[in-house]
Amino acid sequence: MTCTKTPQKIHLLFDEIAEYYDKTNNYISFWTHNFIKYLAVKNLDIKKYSTVLDLCCGTGDINQIINKISPKTKVINIDISTNMLKYAKEKNPKGVFMQGDSTSLIFKDEEFDYITMSFGLRNIENREKALSEIYRTLKKDGKFLHIDFGYHNLLSKIFDLIVLTIIKLTHKNLEHYKYLINSKTEFPEPDNLIQEFEQFGFKYVKKCDYLFGIISAQIMQK
């Protein structure tokens, strides 16, 4: 069954899980998710005084990582969920966080040196619109970093079972996390995603797999 991903449903879903989102990510990734995000962002080789747009910023992990790697870089964060933004601001008191939809950005053309999106695109109903907004707002030669679950291999299926078991032990409402697993299964594998990005005009730069391909990051250039 295909997941419903209307912006209203997604907004509600992440508002409801915001409070325990970080803790759950730690449990299901055995505390590796932040290090993986760090390694992926490092690959961007972010220049001093550049501007980054982090879409689907969630609770602001990418903002924290960029502040560590490149303190002089300006980061603007966008998310659709009010509650995820609340926790992001608590974690990043000096950060710039705005509520918005990645499929309809308020920014002008070619405004950003880098755009990052981590575990976000999978939740967007109109992926084409989000990708064309990313392409539009990225400067020429600017880079787009996309991170999400990777290959639909045996390890990934074992991972799904571990996730469901952990969630069963720690939470009452399994529906949200069943959604996450279904959305993960429906999402294209990294090589198909790269082809999709290329159709929007992006050029392939690099792909990095983590945890034997359970997580994958792709870097594309405008």
Ligand X SMILES: C[S@@+](CC[C@H](N)C(=O)[O-])C[C@H]1O[C@@H](n2cnc3c(N)ncnc32)[C@H](O)[C@@H]1O
| Binding region for ligand X (CB under 6 A) | 7, 10, 14, 56-58, 61, 78-81, 84, 101-103, 118-120, 123-124
Q: Give the shortest CB-167-to-ligand X separation in angstroms.
A: 14
Closer residue to ligand X (CB): 81 or 218: 81
Q: Give the shortest CB-19-to-ligand X separation in angstroms.
A: 13
Helix H or strand E encompassing 205:
strand 203-210
Closer residue to ligand X (CB): 91 or 203: 91
Q: Give the shortest CB-73-to-ligand X separation in angstroms.
A: 17
**Distance (Å, rounded) from C-alpha 174 to C-alpha 13?**
12
Q: Give the shortest CB-103-to-ligand X separation in angstroms.
A: 5
Q: Give the shortest CB-72-to-ligand X separation in angstroms.
A: 22
Instruction: Return left, alpha or beta for 8; rule: phi > 0 is left, psi -120 to 50 is alpha, else beta.
Output: alpha
In the complex, residue closest to ligand X by CB? 58
Closer residue to ligand X (CB): 33 or 222: 33
Work out the end-to-end distance of the chain between its first and last CA atoms, rounded to an integer number of angstroms.
35
Q: What share of the chain is helix, strand, coil (3-state, %, to 5)?
A: 50, 20, 30
Closer residue to ligand X (CB): 6 or 192: 6
**Distance (Å, rounded) from C-alpha 3 to C-alpha 33?**
24
How many residues in total does the chain contain?
A: 222
Q: What number of other Cβ atoms are within 10 A of residue 58's Cβ?
A: 23
Closer residue to ligand X (CB): 5 or 222: 5
